[in-house]
Amino acid sequence: MEYRPTRVADVIRDINRDYYLPAIQREFVWQPDDIAKLFDSIMGDFPIGSFLFWKLREEHKNDWVVYEFIREFDRDNPHNPEADMRGVNRDIRLVLDGQQRMTSLYIGLKGSYRYFYYRWRKEKLYLNLLKPPTPNEDDPESLTYQFAFRESPEPNTDGQEFWYAVGRILDFADAEDAKSDVAPQIAHLPEEQRANAMKLVGRLHARVHTVLVINYYEEPSQDYDKVLQIFVRANSAGEPLEYSDLLLSTATAKWERLDAREEIHQCTDNLNGIGGGYGFGKDFVLKGSLYLTPDLPIQYMVKNFTRRNLLAIEANWENVKTYLGTTVRLISKYGFTRKNIVAPLALLPIGFFLMRRGNENFDRSSEASDVANQVALRRWLVFVILKNAFGRATDRALKNVRDVLVAQPPNVDFQVASLNAALGIEPHFTDTELDEILSYQYQGRYTYLVLSLLYPDRDWKDAVFHEDHIFPRAEFQTGKLRRRGYGDERIAAYQALCNRLPNLQLLTDTENLSKNSTPFDEWIGTRDAGFKARHHIAGGVGCSMDAFEEFIGARRKKLLPITTAPLRLKRSGDLSR
């Protein structure tokens, strides 16, 4: 990377002419003291850090909204105005790193700073020409020169202050002219103070007009995603920047009727407030905006957030937030929580399917066709999550599924087989997958999902189900097992199996509370045959703690061929039917 030097005066001259801000930049946040410290560093020949510019070629300047630097900063209205690129027939530079410093230079030399401190104040940057440089080695944060924002140059103390407007230095190409300008105003002062004033004016002029204070690197690439990565890395020293924040800034800049930032934040909050609460981020909503808007690319890349695409999303925004909401309400009714929705992007095809059907109240519908589709959607979602169908090459998988949905009539039922074919997954689990599934642990990320497959006829909507140990966990304490006369090897085997899926079932909250820690051989005697069948409790097997390993082996065999209709958990041999 080749860095180039330039002068402060040259940069200030070209701000809002050649230098602008990209929409991904945050707003100006520096305080007056920060600006004063920057000028003090320049006067004291301290480094002020490098700058990073992006050279945006003329043919691309209308692809992205850019902003002007703020000259007259107002804390009550800190927003940068959008730049008008009409008539700008040249390449421009967008500041990727150095916005706060460049804005500070611009305000200090050409503008003002309005803020509230007991009252509203509008101040300019001044330098006290009568104060000699006083470095403080014990406090490196203290100013060597007395820069300050003030409402006027009027001194606070007679004979000790002469406040020089820092921006005045831009009016003179020659340092001697700047000195001649101030000389009549300090002619009445003692020689020592006049000399100090002339020295400071000359030094200020040199640092603004002559010394190559600013070192910058100019990125020539027009690859917007590369530029975004550069921006994230360059700004990683402060508050971490998220990809979604940067894309959200781009969206905010390009929507015409709605405030994208407010809408997307509100949509995210609304989704996360459904049911017991979820953890969807802005990334999910932005990705959903691309996915649910017809004819848009779905890759989560800057180049896809063009003005045209973002306006298309804005036009479709009501559908986006409506059907994302319908989807999340539906999965909430089926007991999916923030813990077991481990592949949130798997929800997007469901949202697209519902949007095509045009039924925003699908989750509340009790019509026969809707109920059948609700069951199919739940089973498919569980299956693709367990299959990790959206864990690799996610964008390709999402696109393939959307292509299938687009090709089907809007009123067709949810076609599980077609979607699985588009994902390249078989409608069954392999032996290896089944072995892994049956080793899942109590309250694991996937355990509730697997257990839900065991109850194909259950009415899931609006019911609360608990993961429950069939043999109560309290019975597996080492002391209790020793009192039963079990040796170390048997104790270790029991405790290893206690939390595994074959010892788990789903009970309603009422059932679970009534069961509590009742020993299984006592509890099962109070249950009817329907309960045993529903929970796949093998017959002819003992239910005491002494028979625990035998019970687990028998239940494991019963779980293997459980179907997910129309998906079947297949296994080789006689369990494949």
d(CA 189, CA 57): 54
pLDDT over 70 for what percent of the chain?
90
Confidence of residue 572 (pLDDT cuts 50, 70, 90): very low
d(CA 80, CA 68): 6
DSSP annotation string for 527-569: S-HHHHHHTTPPTTS--SGGGHHHHHHHHHHHHTT-B-SSSB-
238-255: average pLDDT: 62
Confidence of residue 392 (pLDDT cuts 50, 70, 90): low
What's residue 485's pLDDT? 95
What's residue 459's pLDDT? 67
d(CA 341, CA 491): 34
d(CA 28, CA 451): 52
* pTM value > 0.85: no
67-96: average pLDDT: 89
**Model confidence at 89: pLDDT above 60:** yes
**Model confidence at 126: pLDDT above 80:** yes
507-515: average pLDDT: 80
**Model confidence at 570: pLDDT above 60:** no
What's residue 203's pLDDT? 96
d(CA 420, CA 488): 47
* φ, ψ for residue 290, nearest 5 deg: -70, -45
Minimal CA–CA distance to 382: which of 436, 412, 340? 340
492-499: average pLDDT: 94
DSSP annotation string for 254-323: H-SSS-HHHHHHHHHHHHHTSTT-----HHHHHHHHHHTSTT------GGG--HHHHHHHHHTHHHHHHH
23-29: average pLDDT: 78
Contact in structure between 538 and 557 (CB atoms under 8 Å):
yes
Neighbours of 102 (CB within 10 A): 22
What's residue 121's pLDDT? 92
**Model confidence at 283: pLDDT above 70:** yes
Task: Find residue 476's DSSP bridge partners.
Answer: none
Minimal CA–CA distance to 334: which of 273, 288, 380, 367? 380
322-348: average pLDDT: 91
Neighbours of 298 (CB within 10 A): 20
Contacts 24+ apart (CB under 8 A), 158-163: 159/130, 159/189, 160/130, 160/131, 161/128, 161/130, 161/131, 162/128, 162/129, 162/130, 162/186, 162/189, 162/193, 162/197, 163/126, 163/127, 163/128, 163/129
What's residue 207's pLDDT? 96
**Residue predicted with more confidence, 276 or 177:** 177
**Model confidence at 564: pLDDT above 70:** no
253-267: average pLDDT: 82
Range with the lowest mean pLDDT among 100-104, 120-124, 258-262, 317-321?
Answer: 258-262
SS3 225: helix
**Dihedral sign for Cα atoms in the order 223, 24, 241, 7:** positive
Range with the lowest mean pLDDT among 100-114, 356-370, 420-434, 445-459?
Answer: 445-459
SS3 473: helix
Minimal CA–CA distance to 152: which of 137, 163, 140, 143? 163
Residues 6+ apart with CB under 8 A from 329: 274, 275, 363
Q: Do the bridges between strand 119-128 and strand 504-508 make them parallel or antiparallel, or are there none, so unpaired? A: unpaired
Q: Tell me the chain's radius of gyration from C-alpha atoms.
A: 34
SS3 197: helix
SS3 513: helix
Cα first-last separation, the chain: 64
Range with the lowest mean pLDDT among 285-289, 370-374, 429-433?
Answer: 429-433
Tokens linked to 510: 């009422």
pLDDT over 90 for what percent of the chain?
50
**Model confidence at 160: pLDDT above 60:** yes
**Model confidence at 1: pLDDT above 90:** no
* DSSP3 helix / strand / coil % (the chain, rounded to 5): 50, 10, 40
Q: Do the bridges between strand 147-150 and strand 119-128 make them parallel or antiparallel, or are there none, so unpaired? A: antiparallel
d(CA 438, CA 447): 9
**Residue predicted with more confidence, 520 or 27:** 520
Q: What is the H or E stretch that residue 505 is in?
A: strand 504-508
557-563: average pLDDT: 71
401-413: average pLDDT: 93
Q: Average pLDDT, whole number, for the chain?
A: 86
d(CA 97, CA 91): 18
Confidence of residue 17 (pLDDT cuts 50, 70, 90): very high
**Model confidence at 365: pLDDT above 50:** yes
Contact in structure between 239 and 39 (CB atoms under 8 Å):
no
